[in-house]
Amino acid sequence: AIENARLFQQSDLISEFVHELRTPLSSLSTATYLLLRPEMSQEQRDQIINNIHNETMRLNALASSFLDLARLESGRVQFRKSVFSLADLMYECKDVMSSKAIEDNIQLRVESPEGLPLLEADRDKIKQVLLNLLSNAVKYNRPNGTVMLRAEAKENEMVIYIQDTGIGIPDEALPHLFQKFYRVREHEARTSGTGLGLSICKQIIHGHGGRIEVRSKIGVGTVFMIYMPRLSTTVPRDDNAPAKKANRK
Ligand code: ADP
């Protein structure tokens, strides 16, 4: 029965994926048809080629995210857990995102209290989640906006906050945000995306026994909160995890 449920779930995912392929494929076919018409000016051709490039990039992102999500949903992904410094990971993510933030004129800040406890999790997967949320926080921000990455330890859990001063999310969209392929209608014209990033984040965090929540206010900003279980025993730290202390700003 479990296997059957899993197969049904996979076939639903595949039908949704094929449905999502239709729009970029039809714009690619229109674009190539237009390119074949002799009356097109060079400027129009350049524009069409630019559209083809954007649509193929989107298809590429869609395919990788789809594979990621399908593997996570099938339960076949084994998390490779280690004990590492969350503070170091946050600074590392800030470094990765910094050029994109500078490009968009967004200030990116990290705040982690002294003595933040170590985290036990799959470091690469948590990095993927943080980068995804930071990338959204930059993408859906406003010019000269701010993104803050912050963490704190509570009694039984660690909380990571990814907060932006962006355009915000309408109340009616919030319950659908973590659904596959969901994109806020008002944001669709603004940037391209797959609508799979948040579903992937949710799968990864739930797979670690944690949870992810969101709060948002239109025109003020959005904050995503990740709650992760706290390390119960004192385990030696993973010395392979890159230390980034020198780069802290
Ligand atoms: P996408 O590839 O479209 O960014 P996601 O699954 O990452 O897909 O996000 C789903 C939708 O949630 C986005 O299309 C966007 O409308 C909305 N969203 C996500 N993060 C933010 C944010 N920080 N601020 C405003 N809207 C956001």
For the chain, how big is the Rg over CA atoms in Å?
20
Query: Can you tell me which residue has the tokens 């890159």?
Result: 242
Query: Can you tell me which residue has the tokens 């982690």?
Result: 112
Read off the pLDDT band of 243 (50, 70, 90): very low
pTM, two decimal places: 0.87
Percent of the chain with pLDDT over 90: 77
Q: Is 184 in the pocket of ligand 1 (CB under 6 A)?
A: yes
Q: How far is CA 245 from CA 8, 64, 75, 112, in A?
A: 47, 32, 35, 12
* CA of 196, closest atom in ligand 1: 6
Alpha helix (H) ranges present in the chain?
A: 2-35, 42-73, 86-103, 123-139, 185-188, 197-207
Averaged confidence pLDDT in the chain: 90
Read off the pLDDT band of 13 (50, 70, 90): confident
Q: Pick the residue with more confidence: 186 or 178?
A: 178
Give the mean pLDDT of 128-157.
Answer: 96
Read off the pLDDT band of 245 (50, 70, 90): very low
Give, for ligand 1, the residue of 136, 161, 174 to mutate: max count of ligand atoms closer than 8 Å to Cβ.
136
